[in-house]
Amino acid sequence: MKERKIFPAFIIFLFLLVIIFVLLKYYSDRVSIKQDGFYEVSCIVKGDYDQADEIKNKIKDRIGFLPSIEKTAKNQYEITFGKYKSSYEAGESAFSLFADSIIQNYSVQLDGKEKYDYFSNVPYVSNYEGRASLFSLDLKKKTSSLLWNDWGEEVVALEVSPGKDVFFFLTVSGYGKKSGVSYIYDSRLYLCIRNENIFRMVGYYKNGIQFYSYWNAKNEYMTSFTSLDSSTNSNVIQDIMVYDTSGVKIQGMKKVFNLIQDGYPSVPKKKLEYTSDKNIYSFFNRRNEQKENCFYIKKNYSNDEYLINKAHGEVQDLAWSPDQNYLFFIYSDSVKLSAKNTRIGHFIVAYDLLTNKIIRTFTSDDYKYLSVFGRLLAIDAGSGIDSKVIFYDYPKDEIYLKLQVNDGCAIKSLPIAK
C-alpha cells in the first residue's frame, strides 16, 4: 500500500521539476535578451483597438516587422517596436514616423525604462546671460533648453561626432587683440558622452590665436591650436592633437614656425567625404573651357556620370544622407550686384541620387556648415546676431524648422562679438 502511494508522488515530483526547469529556461532566455542592450520605441495610442491596430500596421510597413500592441488603460494602447543598437538609432527611426504623422508621441526605452533620446535633442551654440553656451533643441517639441553653461567660459567651437554619440566643444575665458593679433584666453576642451549626458574637460590649451577642429574619416577628433611663442615674437607654435571618442589623446604633434622665414602656418584642412558609404557613389569636379568647375556624381558600379551643376567657385562642405540616397554640398560662386560689382555668395544643392535630379537649391546666403541628422539637413547660415540654423526635411523637400534666437545660434560655432 505504501509503495503505491510513493510512486504517484514521485511522478508528481518529477512533473514539478520539469515545469520548474522549463520556467527557469524561459525566463533566463528573456533576461538574456534584455542584457543584449537593444533599444525599443514605445508610443501611446488613444482610441479603440482598430485605431491602434491601423497605426501598428503602418509602422510595420515602414520598419519591416510587426510591432507588439498592449492595452494599458481604457481606450489606450501601447505599441512597442524595434531592436536598435543605440538610443540615437531608435530615435532616428521614431522621428521619421513622427515627421510623417504616423505616430504622435513616443519614447526610447531600454529594458522597459525610458532613456534619453539623443537623436531628437540636437546641441547648438547660442548666448545665455551674455555668454556663448550650449543649448539642446527638442526636434519633436521644437523647443530649446540650456544644456551647458559655466561662469567665465564661452563656447567658441562645437563638433558632434559622425555617429552623434559624443561631441567636443572648446571654451575660452576671454578674447581680444595682442600685438595686433586676435587672441583667445584660457582655452579648454570638453567632451560630452550624449547617452549619459556626462561632461568632462579633456584638454587645457591656455592662451592662443587660433583653434581649428574636425572629425576625420577614422572617427577621430582632430584639433589644431596655434599660439605665440613666449620666448620670441617671431615664432608661433602649432599644437596638433588627435582624440578618440572617449576623450583620450591618441596622438600629439608640436610644430614651431618662424613668421619671417616660414610664414603663418596653415591649418590642417578637413578632408571632405567625396565617396559615399560602401563606395556606391563618387562626387568630383572637372574644369571646362570657360574655367568653370563642373560638379559631377558618378555611379561607381556602372561608371555612369551625371552633371549636377557648375560654378566659378569651389565646394566648401559636403554630406551624404544616412541611406546614401541624397547628396548635399555648399559651393561658392560670384553674384552679380550691378554691371560693375560682384560679390562671392554661397549656395547649397540638395541632390536626389536615385532620380539624378536637384530637388532644391538654396539661394545665396552666408552658408557655413552642413550636418545631417537622420532625415533632416541642418544648415548653419548667416553671421553674428543674424546667424540661424535651418532644418531641412529633404524627403519632403520642406523646411522643418528655422531656428532663430536673439544674438544668433549655430550648430558648429557662433562668432563672439560684443
Top-confidence residue, 141 or 11: 141
Residue 31 has a pLDDT of 34
CATH of domain 37-119: 3.30.70.260
Q: Residue 320 above 70 pLDDT?
A: yes
Mean pLDDT check: name the lowest of 45-54, 229-238, 278-287: 229-238
Contacts of 369 (CB under 8 A, 6+ apart): 317, 330, 379, 380, 410, 411, 412
End-to-end CA distance of the chain: 101
From the number of C-beta atoms within 10 Å of its C-beta (0-12, 13-18, 19+), residue 371 rates as: buried
Indicate the range of 177-191, 244-258, 387-401 predicted with least confidence: 177-191
What mean pLDDT do residues 365-373 have? 89
Q: Where are the alpha helices (DSSP H) in 143-253?
A: none
| φ, ψ (nearest 5 deg) of residue 102 | -80, -40
Q: What is the pLDDT of residue 230?
A: 84
* pLDDT at residue 1, rounded to an integer: 45
The pTM of the full predicted model, rounded to 2 decimals, is: 0.86
| Bridge partners for 174 per DSSP | 185
Pick the most confident of 33-42, 310-319, 336-345. 310-319
C-alpha to C-alpha distance for 67 and 89, rounded to whole angstroms:
17
Name which of 127-131, 161-165, 412-416 the model is least confident about.
412-416
Q: What contacts 366, CB < 8 A, 6 or more positions away?
A: 346, 381, 382, 383
* Cell numbers representing residue 336 in the block: 552679380
| Predicted pLDDT of residue 378 | 97
Enumerate the domain spans of the chain. 1-36, 37-119, 155-270
CB atoms within 10 A of CB 82: 19
pLDDT in tens, 173-228: 988 876 677 888 999 999 999 988 889 999 998 899 888 889 987 789 999 999 98
Q: Which of 236, 130, 133, 131 is nearest to 182 (CA)?
A: 236
Determine the average pLDDT of the residues in 227-237: 87
* Confidence check: pLDDT of 56 > 50: yes
Q: Kindly report, residue by residue over 105-139, the tens digit of the pLDDT.
A: 899 999 989 999 999 999 999 999 989 999 999 99
Q: Mean pLDDT, the chain, as a whole number?
A: 88
For 161, residues 6+ apart whose C-beta sits below 8 A from its C-beta are 167, 215, 219, 221, 245
